[in-house]
A and B are shown apart, each in its own frame.
Chain A
């Protein structure tokens, strides 16, 4: 020690340790998005169930999870990208392409292991290309992957000669198996979301992703290997998308070159609905899971309520718009109030939800 004076009277801070850990504001922020969505899901489910009591039966819930499995798997990867300030629009096309190529390989007699390994490797390779270009050439990911969307979609059509390729038995257990008493895709969805949630919220990798999306400059100067991290994000996301492609192929028992078209928009929609910001730095895996659930519940409800097909998109789109507007308005109001009033009211609302475990991050326990 030097001869420095360190008079206790001068220590200006009377900090914090005494009060102990408290809920992070980011958690409160996330819950502000998630709670209304959950209310929406429950409300819609109860209403539909009152019209048609089959809706809340276990088998139907399982059905819904199976329906949204591929969407949810893709959304898990996209959540990482959006939080990290990136985006990948090519995932839908990648799903189609992987499905087509896998189907062809099954037809050519490849073993299941080889097909799966090939599919995942193809995904990783695509992600590597996107990642390297974005990280080292500073190309905006939106434009790059929009181009990728067309290229991969076209390749899927070329390789399949424009028609779905049937798969007689390959990956059947992925599409139709029963694991732990649940349909396989539903199990996969849950496992992926839980693992992704743990990676996002309980590892340095996840925290670094938030940092990257909040301020790339700050992260860089603090010693984050920014470029490597961007590449990893894209590789991980595309690998997960390729996995989604295999699951979808298994469920359809065919490699359909159009199976994934338009999927990227639903993926980004549910991710943003769950609280991820397109500008980066915001979002949670629980939010994404709930976003996927909203999507699944709406779709299923419309069928159960026998809403004519032509109106379904109208209703589901309308619900999405209302959900987004309502959460944004709530956000804005609490920001305006400087937190004081708005936040305490909200805290009252969500306190019961958070009290049992005052953990620092939202629980990553999937759907």
Chain B
């Protein structure tokens, strides 16, 4: 579909009467919202038919999260009106929206780590007995029934903090669906889910739709849109550019609407590799972490992209942490050429090993601090003195080089959209000048264009001789990027691929075959909490 005709799908000038009609489960008319220096939403009007799944698409910073915060009463628009079931949302508060039957699964995870899974699921509707007391047993029973109904393989009595990020995401899904709702909003629910878990999510979405619930679904994975959504709305730069039934469009049509230009999205071309591979820059010999990683050897060479492929809990993240010096292996050694054994994360960082952790907000950024401080952090802070003027100037240059879209290096990193936040993390290591860059899920929550932009930046780095290690559960990503892949299942390396043999289909086959092979025999403890583990410098 061509762009001009696509634009015709926007309901013209949003006839206010139409969108307010009770035929829509939720709708909004003429919504505008500005933040200092940014017009996040500009006269947006959309309406969702009851019992449909509606995808909301757009590049990073297009205004998707802002729009759903407004739809769900979490933020007040500068102009415009939200209608829920035809009724205007007068006091724009989350409670008011909730009373009208709107529930939301936000982009950021909110799980109370020290409570049980069951408690987390029923957090806002704890069952009470006649005396008004809460019973742990009743919670567990009710929550377990709900989890089973959703088909989630989770124990209601487990501690939520012990779950993987993906499992926590499913706990939040269970919470969002714990009470009947007219409208459910899911903001990037798949950003931290891998293959199987996405299937579980889709099953839940479909059964909700069958029961008449309306869903608003945000994702950067377009194939998911074609799998579950009935209609799609595209935002670009805060403006509403396309409304289309999914059956009438295709990936290219959506991409064109999102980015207003052609997006290349296949394996990237790369410089020819030297015929004789250079000596490894980083080598892990017989490293093992009981319960998480079975003994294996890995060598990373300058100028290559080595991918570690596997779902959460497969040991890929653990291996990445070992390679980055975040923790020490229980057995075996990790050595950096010319430096020797990695003693601590700080030593590894100053010896030139950059690390981009999976959890951007908690592990990679200081959300409340200025962009400039996020750039010049740790090993990237070269000079002992901090000269504010020069720092801001350097930061501006780094932002330009890292193609970060930001009002000023003095604004807090929190106000950037997800993709731009990720670029700030990259820019940090670009200016630190590292020899090895280890990345864990580098493009979670990043839009398609930004993703390929990031890949291009990574390949630029390899051209300068930097070694790149990427952990990913996204087969497309690995196929687009990797020179070599190690496929991991259940804490063991089960296969390796090189060059053109790396295709999404082959990776999928290998992972399933690996899972079959490894079967029950592996000591797989997938309760791998990266967040606590990584602070244990010594162990």
Q: Does B407 count as interface, using CB distance less than 8 angstroms?
A: yes
Instruction: Give complex CA distance A339, B392 in Å.
Output: 22
Instruction: Give complex CA distance A230, B49 in Å.
Output: 56
Interface contact A203-B405, CB-CB below 8 Å: no
Q: How many residues of A contact B (CB 8 A)?
A: 59
Most chain A beta carbons < 10 A, residue from B75, B269, B389, B408: B408
Q: Residues 1-39 of chain A: 1 if any B CB is under 8 Å from the residue's CB, otherwise 0?
A: 111111001111111110111111111000000000000
**Residues of B with C-beta under 8 A to A21:** 388-389, 392-393, 396, 408-410
Interface contact A343-B409, CB-CB below 8 Å: no
Instruction: Give complex CA distance A258, B369 in Å.
Output: 40
Partner of A206, one of B59, B386, B459: B386
Interface contact A223-B410, CB-CB below 8 Å: no
In whole Å, how far is A72's beta carbon from the nearest beta carbon of chain B? 24
Interface contact A202-B387, CB-CB below 8 Å: yes
Interface contact A4-B406, CB-CB below 8 Å: no
Interface contact A15-B404, CB-CB below 8 Å: yes
In whole Å, how far is A207's beta carbon from the nearest beta carbon of chain B? 5
A20 touching B396 in the complex, CB below 8 Å, given contacts A26-B370, A222-B380, A339-B35: yes
Q: Does B364 count as interface, using CB distance less than 8 angstroms?
A: yes
Interface contact B269-A360, CB-CB below 8 Å: no
Q: Does A359 count as interface, using CB distance less than 8 angstroms?
A: yes
Q: Does B219 count as interface, using CB distance less than 8 angstroms?
A: no
Of the 9-residue stretches B151-159, B162-170, B371-379, which lies at the interface with chain A?
B371-379
Q: Which of B404-436 contact A (CB under 8 A)?
A: 404-412, 428
Partner of A22, one of B384, B410, B459: B410
Interface contact B396-A17, CB-CB below 8 Å: yes
Instruction: Give complex CA distance A17, B394 in Å.
Output: 9
Interface contact A16-B377, CB-CB below 8 Å: no
Interface contact A13-B405, CB-CB below 8 Å: yes
Partner of A204, one of B75, B384, B404: B384
Interface contact B270-A3, CB-CB below 8 Å: yes
In whole Å, how far is A350's beta carbon from the nearest beta carbon of chain B? 15
Residue of B nearest to A14 (CB): B405
Partner of B405, one of A12, A25, A219, A228: A12
Q: Does A340 count as interface, using CB distance less than 8 angstroms?
A: yes
A207 touching B376 in the complex, CB below 8 Å, given contacts A3-B269, A4-B459, A24-B370: yes
Of the 9-residue stretches B133-141, B470-478, B531-539, which lies at the interface with chain A?
B531-539
In whole Å, how far is A136's beta carbon from the nearest beta carbon of chain B? 9
Interface contact B346-A340, CB-CB below 8 Å: no
Interface contact A217-B535, CB-CB below 8 Å: yes
In whole Å, how far is B341's beta carbon from the nearest beta carbon of chain A? 17
Q: Residues 174-205 of chain A: 1 if any B CB is under 8 Å from the residue's CB, otherwise 0?
A: 00000000000000000000000000011111
Q: Residues 356-372 of chain B: 1 if any A CB is under 8 Å from the residue's CB, otherwise 0?
A: 01000011111111101
Interface contact B534-A218, CB-CB below 8 Å: no
Instruction: Give complex CA distance A22, B463 in Å.
Output: 35
**Residues of A with C-beta under 8 A to B323:** none
Q: Which of B100-139 contact A (CB under 8 A)?
A: none
A2 touching B460 in the complex, CB below 8 Å, given contacts A11-B403, A222-B379, A360-B410: yes
Q: Does B15 count as interface, using CB distance less than 8 angstroms?
A: no
Instruction: Give complex CA distance A58, B83 in Å.
Output: 65
Given A222-B349, A338-B35, list of 18 further CB < 8 A pairs?
A2-B459, A4-B456, A4-B459, A15-B396, A15-B399, A19-B408, A204-B383, A204-B386, A208-B377, A217-B534, A221-B355, A221-B364, A221-B378, A222-B378, A223-B378, A281-B366, A281-B369, A359-B389
Task: List, sorted by A's number, 30 A–B pairs whose CB atoms are closer than 8 Å.
Answer: A2-B269, A10-B261, A10-B449, A12-B403, A13-B399, A19-B408, A21-B396, A21-B410, A22-B392, A202-B385, A204-B386, A208-B378, A210-B366, A214-B369, A215-B365, A218-B366, A221-B326, A221-B355, A221-B364, A221-B378, A221-B534, A223-B346, A223-B349, A223-B377, A224-B378, A227-B537, A228-B346, A343-B36, A360-B391, A360-B392
Interface residue ranges, A against B (CB under 8 Å): 1-6, 9-17, 19-27, 201-208, 210-211, 214-228, 281-282, 338-340, 343-344, 359-361
Q: Top 4 A-B pairs ranked by shortest CB distance? A: A223-B349, A360-B388, A222-B378, A21-B392
